[in-house]
Amino acid sequence: MRDQDGIATERTSGVLVVEVRGRLDIDTVTQWTAVIEATLCELPGPHRLVIDLGQLEFLSARGIRGLQRAFELCHERGISGCLIANPGSAVEKVIRLTGLAGRVPVFSHRLAAIAAYQPTEMRWLLA
Protein backbone atom coordinates (compact mmCIF):
# COMPACT_ATOMS: atom_id res chain seq x y z
CA MET A 1 0.00 0.00 0.00
CA ARG A 2 1.40 3.38 -0.83
CA ASP A 3 0.22 6.61 0.71
CA GLN A 4 0.06 9.88 -1.20
CA ASP A 5 -1.54 12.79 0.61
CA GLY A 6 -4.54 10.88 1.92
CA ILE A 7 -4.74 8.33 -0.90
CA ALA A 8 -3.60 4.73 -0.49
CA THR A 9 -3.81 1.92 -3.04
CA GLU A 10 -3.56 -1.82 -2.70
CA ARG A 11 -3.85 -4.62 -5.27
CA THR A 12 -4.98 -8.09 -4.31
CA SER A 13 -5.90 -10.88 -6.75
CA GLY A 14 -7.41 -8.73 -9.47
CA VAL A 15 -8.93 -6.17 -7.08
CA LEU A 16 -7.61 -2.63 -6.84
CA VAL A 17 -8.55 -0.97 -3.56
CA VAL A 18 -8.15 2.80 -3.36
CA GLU A 19 -8.65 4.34 0.07
CA VAL A 20 -9.34 8.06 0.15
CA ARG A 21 -8.95 9.86 3.48
CA GLY A 22 -9.59 13.42 4.57
CA ARG A 23 -11.53 15.49 2.05
CA LEU A 24 -12.59 14.88 -1.53
CA ASP A 25 -13.38 18.33 -2.82
CA ILE A 26 -12.34 20.92 -5.39
CA ASP A 27 -8.83 21.13 -3.92
CA THR A 28 -8.10 17.38 -3.97
CA VAL A 29 -10.20 15.85 -6.75
CA THR A 30 -7.69 16.48 -9.56
CA GLN A 31 -4.86 14.82 -7.66
CA TRP A 32 -7.11 11.96 -6.61
CA THR A 33 -8.35 11.36 -10.18
CA ALA A 34 -4.77 11.37 -11.49
CA VAL A 35 -3.76 8.74 -8.92
CA ILE A 36 -6.73 6.54 -9.88
CA GLU A 37 -5.98 6.80 -13.62
CA ALA A 38 -2.27 6.10 -13.15
CA THR A 39 -2.93 3.18 -10.82
CA LEU A 40 -5.41 1.60 -13.23
CA CYS A 41 -2.83 1.82 -16.01
CA GLU A 42 0.39 0.85 -14.22
CA LEU A 43 -0.23 -2.88 -13.76
CA PRO A 44 -2.12 -5.48 -15.75
CA GLY A 45 -5.84 -5.33 -15.41
CA PRO A 46 -7.64 -5.32 -12.18
CA HIS A 47 -11.05 -6.90 -12.56
CA ARG A 48 -12.61 -4.68 -9.93
CA LEU A 49 -12.07 -1.21 -8.49
CA VAL A 50 -13.04 -0.73 -4.85
CA ILE A 51 -12.98 2.87 -3.67
CA ASP A 52 -12.96 2.93 0.11
CA LEU A 53 -14.42 6.16 1.51
CA GLY A 54 -14.65 4.85 5.08
CA GLN A 55 -12.04 7.36 6.31
CA LEU A 56 -13.33 10.26 4.20
CA GLU A 57 -14.46 13.26 6.24
CA PHE A 58 -16.03 15.38 3.49
CA LEU A 59 -17.37 14.70 -0.01
CA SER A 60 -18.29 17.64 -2.22
CA ALA A 61 -20.23 17.83 -5.49
CA ARG A 62 -16.88 18.05 -7.30
CA GLY A 63 -15.80 14.92 -5.45
CA ILE A 64 -18.95 13.11 -6.63
CA ARG A 65 -18.13 14.10 -10.22
CA GLY A 66 -14.61 12.74 -9.71
CA LEU A 67 -16.04 9.43 -8.49
CA GLN A 68 -18.38 9.29 -11.47
CA ARG A 69 -15.44 9.90 -13.81
CA ALA A 70 -13.43 7.13 -12.15
CA PHE A 71 -16.26 4.66 -12.70
CA GLU A 72 -16.73 5.84 -16.30
CA LEU A 73 -13.04 5.16 -16.89
CA CYS A 74 -13.47 1.70 -15.38
CA HIS A 75 -16.47 1.01 -17.61
CA GLU A 76 -14.46 2.02 -20.68
CA ARG A 77 -11.81 -0.53 -19.68
CA GLY A 78 -14.23 -3.31 -18.78
CA ILE A 79 -13.56 -3.03 -15.04
CA SER A 80 -16.41 -3.20 -12.54
CA GLY A 81 -16.37 -0.97 -9.49
CA CYS A 82 -17.97 -0.28 -6.14
CA LEU A 83 -17.76 2.07 -3.18
CA ILE A 84 -17.33 1.56 0.54
CA ALA A 85 -18.99 4.08 2.83
CA ASN A 86 -19.85 3.94 6.51
CA PRO A 87 -23.62 3.49 6.93
CA GLY A 88 -25.33 6.66 8.13
CA SER A 89 -22.24 8.83 7.62
CA ALA A 90 -22.41 12.21 5.88
CA VAL A 91 -20.40 10.74 2.98
CA GLU A 92 -22.85 7.86 2.56
CA LYS A 93 -25.78 10.30 2.59
CA VAL A 94 -24.17 12.41 -0.17
CA ILE A 95 -23.60 9.26 -2.25
CA ARG A 96 -27.26 8.31 -1.91
CA LEU A 97 -28.71 11.82 -2.37
CA THR A 98 -26.76 12.43 -5.58
CA GLY A 99 -27.91 9.13 -7.07
CA LEU A 100 -24.43 7.64 -7.32
CA ALA A 101 -25.58 4.74 -5.13
CA GLY A 102 -28.09 3.86 -7.85
CA ARG A 103 -25.30 3.50 -10.42
CA VAL A 104 -22.52 1.93 -8.33
CA PRO A 105 -22.86 -0.71 -5.59
CA VAL A 106 -22.15 0.64 -2.10
CA PHE A 107 -20.89 -1.63 0.68
CA SER A 108 -20.40 -1.00 4.39
CA HIS A 109 -16.87 -2.44 4.57
CA ARG A 110 -14.02 -3.68 2.40
CA LEU A 111 -14.42 -7.39 3.09
CA ALA A 112 -18.08 -7.35 1.99
CA ALA A 113 -17.15 -5.53 -1.22
CA ILE A 114 -14.40 -7.97 -2.14
CA ALA A 115 -16.40 -11.06 -1.11
CA ALA A 116 -19.43 -10.05 -3.19
CA TYR A 117 -17.42 -10.43 -6.37
CA GLN A 118 -15.52 -13.62 -5.61
CA PRO A 119 -16.57 -16.93 -7.14
CA THR A 120 -19.13 -18.65 -4.93
CA GLU A 121 -16.71 -21.39 -3.96
CA MET A 122 -14.26 -18.79 -2.59
CA ARG A 123 -16.70 -16.69 -0.52
CA TRP A 124 -16.54 -18.95 2.51
CA LEU A 125 -12.86 -18.11 2.84
CA LEU A 126 -13.71 -14.43 3.34
CA ALA A 127 -16.63 -14.94 5.71
* Mean pLDDT, the chain, whole residue set: 82
* pTM of the entire predicted model: 0.82
Q: Is the pLDDT of residue 123 over 80?
A: no
Ranges 59-63, 81-85, 98-102, 108-112: which has the least confidence: 108-112
At 66-84, the pLDDT tens digits run 999 889 988 888 888 899 9
d(CA 65, CA 10) in angstroms, rounded, equals 23
Q: Is the pLDDT of residue 49 over 70?
A: yes
Q: Is the pLDDT of residue 96 over 80?
A: yes
Closest of 102, 104, 125, 115 to residue 53, by C-alpha: 104
**DSSP tally for the chain: helices H, then strands E:** 6, 8
Q: Is the pLDDT of residue 35 over 60?
A: yes
pLDDT tier at 114 (50, 70, 90 boundaries)?
confident
Q: Is the pLDDT of residue 107 over 80?
A: yes
Domains of the chain: 2-126 (3.30.750.24)
**Cβ–Cβ < 8 Å for 29, 62:** yes
**Cβ–Cβ < 8 Å for 59, 94:** yes
Tell me which long-range contacts 67-70 makes (C-beta under 8 A, separation of at least 24).
67/24, 67/100, 67/104, 68/100, 68/103, 69/33, 70/33, 70/36
